[in-house]
Structure 1
Amino acid sequence: MSTTRQPPPGDLGPEPDEAGPAPATPGARVRTLVLSGASGVVPLARDFTRQALHDWGWLPAPTADRRAAAEDVLLVVSELVTNACLHAEGPERLRVAYGTKALRLEVTDRGAGQPAPRTPHRAGRPGGHGMFIVQRLCLDWGVVRAPGATGKTVWAELAAPA
């Protein structure tokens, strides 16, 4: 896991649409949701991601393994968006991209901080578990900063179900 390297190249689709959600066309593999200025962004992001998973055939899940994979995606979305709310002036955009081997989540915010799992992780304490959960559930995750711009994009990739 690297928190500063650029995202790996892959087949996860084009750049996000700045104007708002991507159209729900058959076969679409990238969805973007503008969160800037919205209220209730965590459930909004979860519902948006759940709909994408449904459209892409992850849900309803026919097996326990596939159901667990979808639940992991929804948990990671919740953690990334919550972290942007708590530590980065709120999220601006959520991007969900589905490739043949992985599903990629990206949350863009205006914050200057650097997300990292708390070390040492203390399971018995409330709070502070978000990036630890992301690290444990994801294949990889990291942060991308645009040169000369404020904010960042925190991305995470989860394995696509077989």
Structure 2
Amino acid sequence: MGYSEGMTPQRHQVVRWRPPHGEDAAVAADARAWARRALPGLLAEPARTNLEDDVELLVSELAANAVLHAGGLGHVELHCTGSELRIVVHDEAQALPVPSPSVAPDIDHGRGMLLVELLATRWGVRPHPGRGKDVWLDLPL
């Protein structure tokens, strides 16, 4: 069952997940599985078609980026705020993510931020209180 105009998600619901070891290569798979399990509990109604897949893919990509390029994954948050879902991934680095202008088809990495640009209505980066940064994106519900 997909999302329709008459359905209203719960407002301002937030869930957070912290990996036991944020620098482990398996953390992206763990983050993806957590997001898939947590998402239904944030919504008052069933999600729109493909929302679960989009969330799973984007959480996995951002978590992998945190591990590979940013010193490790600190935590992942899902925020349900009215008509949008915000994904926030905290990592330990100050360096900003940069979408690759093009990636050769035979390369199996380097498309994470391009996927973010394609699927999210908006995204950005903000300094995290203390250290590191939060990479966030919004998806329509």
Question: With structure 2 as the length reference, what TM-score do the two structures score?
Answer: 0.80
Within-5 A mapping of 1:1-150: 13=12, 29-35=13-19, 37-38=21-22, 39=24, 40-57=26-43, 66-119=48-101, 121-122=102-103, 124-126=105-107, 127-146=109-128, 149-150=130-131
Return closer, same or farther for 1:84/1:12 CA change in 2, 3 Å cut-off. Answer: farther
Gaps of 5+ in 2: 1-9
CA RMSD of aligned residues (A): 2.4
Structure 1: state its 5+ residue gaps.
1-10, 14-28
Contact 1:36-1:93 within 8 A present in 2 as well: no
Equivalents in 1 of 2:94, 2:71: separation in Å? 9
Number of aligned positions between the proteins = 129
- 2:138 maps to 157
Residue identity (%): 34
TM-score by length of 1: 0.70
After TM superposition, give the deviation of residue 158 of structure 1 in Å.
0.5
Tell me if structure 2 keeps the 8 A contact 1:142–1:154. Answer: yes
Distance, in Å, in 2 between the alignment partners of 1:150 and 1:49 is 24
1:67 partner SS: coil
